[in-house]
Amino acid sequence: MFAEIISIGDEILIGQITNSNAQWMAQQLNLIGISVKQISTVGDNREDVIRIFSEALQRADIILITGGLGPTNDDITKQCLCDFFKTKLVFNEQCFEDVKKMFSDRNLGMPAINKGQAELPENCIPIRNKNGTAPGMWFEAPPQPSPLGREKNQQQVLPNGEDIGGALFVSLPGVPYEMKAMMSDFVIPELQKRFQRNFIVHKTVHTQGIGESALAEKIKEWEDSLAKHEIKLAYLPSPGQVKLRVSLNGNDQKKITDLVDEKINELRQLIPEYIFATEEFGKEPETLEKVIGEILRKKKKTLAVAESCTGGYIAHLITSIAGSSDYFNGGIIAYANEMKINVLKVDVKILEEKGAVCKDVAEQMSDGVRKRLKADFGISTTGIAGPTGGSAEKPVGTVWISVTSDTEIISEKFNFGNNRERNIRRASLSALNMLRTLLEKHS
């Protein structure tokens, strides 16, 4: 069972807005076992829109369309659907009542232009919009031969019980909260009733502290073992982290879930030092700062940070988690050497002899902030974020990170590269991962 998502609007093509609708819709379809074959974006041009409709009909069983349902002249989706299905717009009294109610509930007069939103293609089934003025539309296309899982003349059942062959077209507003409500309340339940689907399981393993190529080398044998189970693996790198998405589909949900879990457990045993979380598809993403917060709270331990080159980004990550005041005592941004000396008690001689970017300074910073803010653990960063300020001995991207407790101190030197923004993020994530390693060691 395959779907295609079509997003209509010049604002997407010119980069004025991000197409978050397609991302969310694809996730929801995957959760009910419907694979998205393609996501297409098309501008507000009649010929282009109709061409995309025709092409999608050859690729997919379900075509979901967003955008172009407003009351203005550049909203052309309804007319394009009329042309495509060779039908006409007719006035729908129920939809008109919904539009009027939307304005009256807000104590607003209804502009005459909005009456046109109650005109819908004659052959569609209206989808009521409880949050806006543009109703959705549900269509059946004529039967099409397709190699993608829909046999010619296969019968499908409309929500009104009528048997009609062919693919589904569903048109929804482009306003995200309107579209999401209509998908959740009507479209997804109808698709679940209509189609027999395989189950799809996606689980994502989060790693930190190793690059994509090095990770691929370490897990090559494990990755090779996935093929016989028809398990797919995708590498999803980002600055400082690599995610591994493990996917399998089949008709026995428990069986495929257990198999995916088994292979992920094998991976955990293979590279335990790099894995900090496993995320289930469609649920709130796991982050390193969230995982660390849970460990600190469980252990009833506290943290303080001293940041130079990261400029407060570690503190930002930590405090982005609700309830972080339970374990985060605070931070000191010691950018200037005077701050390192006067606030964190870094040795002046070391700064003069070795400079701020060295192991000794990093260790004195982490221990100094731990003691100053009376925390169980301290983190420090000192380095050259760039793009200027480097030397042959200490090039841009050189960062020393230190993590300390009352019994132990660990330090590591990193060379991240020339991009300032990425260096700050990678240094911050590396620091948090070093803390995670120390916390797990203390378990």
Amino acid making up residue 27: Q
pLDDT at 304: 99
Length of the chain: 443
Note down pLDDT in tens along the chain; length 443 residues: 899 999 999 999 999 999 999 999 999 999 898 999 999 999 999 999 999 999 999 999 999 999 999 999 999 999 999 999 999 999 999 999 999 998 998 889 999 999 999 999 999 999 999 999 999 999 987 654 433 343 433 444 434 343 334 789 999 999 999 999 999 999 999 999 888 778 899 999 999 999 999 999 999 999 999 999 999 999 999 888 999 999 999 989 999 999 999 999 999 999 999 999 999 987 888 899 999 999 999 999 999 999 999 999 999 999 999 999 999 999 999 999 999 999 999 999 999 999 999 999 999 999 999 999 999 999 999 999 999 999 999 999 999 999 999 999 999 999 999 999 999 999 999 999 999 999 988 76
Report the helix count and the strand count for the chain, using DSSP H and E. 16, 19
- Phi first, then psi: give them for residue 85, nearest 5 degrees: -95, 5
pLDDT number for residue 156: 42
Closest CA to 390 of 429, 424, 418: 418
Residue 154 · residue 141 · CB < 8 Å:
no
The domains spanning 2-194 and 288-441 adopt the same CATH topology: no
User: Contact, 248 vs 231, CB < 8 A?
Assistant: yes
DSSP letter at 41 equals E
Long-range contacts of 187-193 (CB under 8 A, 24+ apart): 187/64, 187/127, 187/136, 187/138, 188/28, 188/32, 190/138, 190/159, 191/29, 191/32, 191/34, 191/62, 192/32
Residue 289 and residue 321 in contact, taking contact as beta carbons nearer than 8 Å: yes
Do 136 and 178 contact (CB within 8 A), yes or no? Answer: no
Q: CB-based contacts of 257: which residues, under 8 Å, 6+ apart? A: 201
Distance CA(443)–CA(435), nearest Å, equals: 13
Rounded to the nearest 10 degrees, what angle do helices 46-59 and 77-85 cross at? 60
pLDDT at 147: 35
pLDDT at residue number 164: 36
Q: How many CA atoms lie within 13 A of 255 on its CB side?
A: 7
Q: Which residues contact 164 (CB under 8 A, 6 or more apart)?
A: 140, 155, 156, 158
Beta-bridge partner residues of 250:
199
pTM: 0.74
Q: CATH number of 199-280: 3.30.300.180, 3.90.550.10, 3.40.50.300, 3.30.70.2860?
A: 3.30.70.2860
For tokens 């130079």, what's the residue? 308
Per domain, the residue ranges of the chain are 2-194, 199-280, 288-441
Determine the pLDDT at residue 45: 96
Residues 222, 262: contact at Cβ < 8 Å?
A: no
One of 3.40.50.740, 3.90.1300.10, 3.90.950.20, 3.20.20.80 is the CATH number of 288-441, namely: 3.90.950.20
Its CATH architecture, for the domain 2-194, is 3-Layer(aba) Sandwich (3.40)
SS3 state of residue 161? coil
